[in-house]
């Protein structure tokens, strides 16, 4: 039997298409419990690699012969060795090229919809981290919103679409992942926007992203308009694109709402969060399609792989938008928070431009699931 090698894109297709997959994860139990490749129809077996050094005979009965089997580890080496042992035992299996490291980094671009005058809006889904980035395209120009640090994914996509990146935005100073926004702007000569209330400590030049800021992408009047919406951070800003789409950053998610504590100011910002969610957003059209900057669980993906729901649906279904008592709301978002993101303080420093870690160090900083939401 030969060992198959799958890349992250192949695994992503199985996630998006809701296909069955059996994953043998050979990382340590704590790593597996904290973060794994999620799929609605995936099955899992976690056996640490060191328990398989003497052979795989004892686990053969636990591995199905009638399903695709993928062996996963942190960086590839251990999964390849286990896959080879399973192959020698007569099983057809694959291993994940680059391991969980490459899974964390992979971006799947998915078209969300068309814009007035022939433009397009794309969502870049980072399945392994829960990050969501966006590209607005119109008349040969593009705007990017909340880009992650893998800048080639965006510049290559723009080149493939034959469009020039003119504007790059960050909805806020991110704390759970390293932004690629200013680096894309520097390499493409685009204008980089950042909310000034989040930028008091940054050490690089930027264009202030203020309430009411509007830029036009292309000549077909695809306006990208900014709405000040604090609460996750004091500078958090949302966008209404083409009067159809509401990009909410980390303020509002499909199944939850943003947490206000990642700068250590939860008590100060909880009021802003409620004001944004219960007043500012209530003034917007229920028909707007909400496009957040993160998702938390695989069930938030639609059938086409996008993460999106109309604002009216969220007002009806999202628990975080239906806590009438203000004291209860304050308690929920300040006292019942999940663990904070891995290395979030250092990530904030990177996004301020104060430190410049190596690529390996950046990878380690970002390891783990998204934790920007109140659960």
Q: Which of 133, 130, 107, 112 has the alpha carbon at shortest distance from 309?
A: 112
Domain residue limits at 73: 4-102
pLDDT value at 371 more than 80:
no
DSSP E strands, the chain:
4-6, 21-25, 42-46, 69-72, 94-96, 108-114, 120-126, 131-138, 141-145, 164-169, 191-194, 207-208, 214-217, 222-228, 237-241, 245-249, 257-258, 289-292, 309-310, 373-374
- In this structure, the answer to whether residues 72 and 141 fall within a common structural domain is no
- In this structure, the answer to whether residues 183 and 93 fall within a common structural domain is no
- In this structure, the answer to whether residues 152 and 218 fall within a common structural domain is yes
Q: Where are the alpha helices (DSSP H) in the chain?
A: 8-16, 29-34, 77-88, 99-105, 151-160, 181-188, 266-275, 311-317, 326-335, 344-351, 359-366
pLDDT for 223 equals 86
pLDDT value at 164 more than 80:
yes
pLDDT value at 178 more than 90:
yes
pLDDT for 316 equals 97
- In this structure, the answer to whether residues 177 and 198 fall within a common structural domain is yes
pLDDT for 55 equals 94
- Please state, rounded to an integer, the average pLDDT across all residues of the chain: 93
Cβ neighbours around 345 below 10 Å, total: 12
CATH code at position 44: 3.40.250.10
- In this structure, the answer to whether residues 325 and 178 fall within a common structural domain is yes
- In this structure, the answer to whether residues 66 and 141 fall within a common structural domain is no
pLDDT interval class at 342 (50, 70, 90) = confident
pLDDT value at 375 more than 70:
no
CATH code at position 279: 3.60.15.10
- In this structure, the answer to whether residues 34 and 51 fall within a common structural domain is yes
- In this structure, the answer to whether residues 236 and 354 fall within a common structural domain is yes
Query: Which among 102, 136, 166 is the end of a domain?
Result: 102
Give catalytic status of residue 73 as yes or no. Answer: yes
pLDDT value at 370 more than 90:
no
pLDDT for 263 equals 67
pLDDT interval class at 49 (50, 70, 90) = very high
Separation of alpha carbons 192 and 206, rounded Å = 6
Average pLDDT, stretch 142-156?
97
- In this structure, the answer to whether residues 137 and 98 fall within a common structural domain is no
184-191: Cβ within 8 A, 24+ apart: 184/144, 184/147, 184/151, 184/154, 184/155, 187/151, 187/155, 188/155, 188/158, 188/164, 190/144, 190/165, 190/166, 191/166, 191/167, 191/215
Separation of alpha carbons 172 and 249, rounded Å = 7
Average pLDDT, stretch 151-170?
98
- In this structure, the answer to whether residues 114 and 62 fall within a common structural domain is no
- In this structure, the answer to whether residues 86 and 162 fall within a common structural domain is no
Cβ neighbours around 255 below 10 Å, total: 19
pLDDT interval class at 1 (50, 70, 90) = low
First to last CA, the chain: 45
Catalytic residue among 73, 93, 178, 291: 73
Cβ neighbours around 74 below 10 Å, total: 18
Number of domains in the chain: 2
Average pLDDT, stretch 83-99?
96
- In this structure, the answer to whether residues 284 and 169 fall within a common structural domain is yes
Query: Which among 102, 137, 163 is the end of a domain?
Result: 102
Tell me the per-residue pLDDT of 195-228, one tens digit each, with 9 for 90 and over.
999 999 999 999 999 999 999 999 777 789 999 9
Query: Which among 56, 73, 102 is the end of a domain?
Result: 102
pLDDT for 354 equals 97
pLDDT for 54 equals 93
């Amino acid at each position: 039997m030969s060992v198959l090698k799958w890349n992250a894109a192949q695994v992503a297709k199985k996630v998006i298409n809701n296909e069955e997959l059996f994953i043998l994860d050979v990382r340590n139990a704590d790593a597996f419990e904290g973060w794994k490749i999620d799929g609605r129809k995936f099955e899992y077996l976690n056996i640490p690699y060191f328990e398989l050094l003497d052979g795989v005979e004892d686990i053969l009965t636990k591995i199905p012969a009638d399903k695709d089997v993928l062996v996963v580890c942190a960086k590839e080496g251990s999964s390849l060795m286990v896959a080879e042992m399973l192959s020698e035992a007569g099983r057809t299996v694959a291993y994940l090229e680059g391991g969980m490291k490459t899974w964390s980094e992979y971006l799947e671009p998915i078209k969300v919809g068309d814009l007035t005058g022939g433009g397009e809006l794309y969502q870049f889904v980072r399945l392994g981290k829960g990050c969501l980035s966006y590209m607005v395209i119109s008349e040969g120009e593009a705007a990017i919103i909340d880009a992650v640090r893998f800048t080639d994914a965006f510049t290559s996509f723009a080149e493939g679409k034959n469009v020039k990146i003119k504007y790059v935005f960050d909805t806020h100073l991110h704390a759970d992942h390293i932004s690629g926004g200013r680096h894309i702007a520097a390499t493409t000569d685009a204008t980089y926007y950042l909310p000034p209330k989040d930028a008091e400590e940054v050490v690089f030049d930027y264009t202030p992203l203020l309430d009411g800021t509007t830029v036009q992408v292309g000549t077909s009047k695809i306006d990208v308009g900014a709405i000040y919406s604090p609460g996750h951070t004091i500078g958090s800003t949302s966008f209404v694109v083409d009067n159809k789409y509401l990009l909410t950053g980390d303020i509002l998610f499909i199944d939850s709402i943003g947490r206000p504590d990642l700068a250590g100011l939860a008590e100060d910002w909880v009021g802003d969060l409620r004001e944004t969610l219960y007043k500012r957003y209530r003034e917007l059209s229920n028909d707007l399609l909400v496009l957040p900057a993160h998702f938390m669980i695989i069930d938030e993906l639609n059938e086409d792989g996008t993460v999106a729901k109309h604002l009216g649906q969220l007002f009806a279904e999202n628990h975080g938008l239906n806590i009438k008592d203000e004291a209860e709301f304050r308690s929920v978002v300040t006292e019942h928070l999940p663990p904070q993101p891995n290395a979030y303080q250092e990530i904030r420093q990177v996004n301020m431009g104060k430190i410049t870690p190596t690529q390996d160090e950046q990878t380690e900083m970002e390891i783990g699931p998204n934790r920007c939401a109140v659960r």
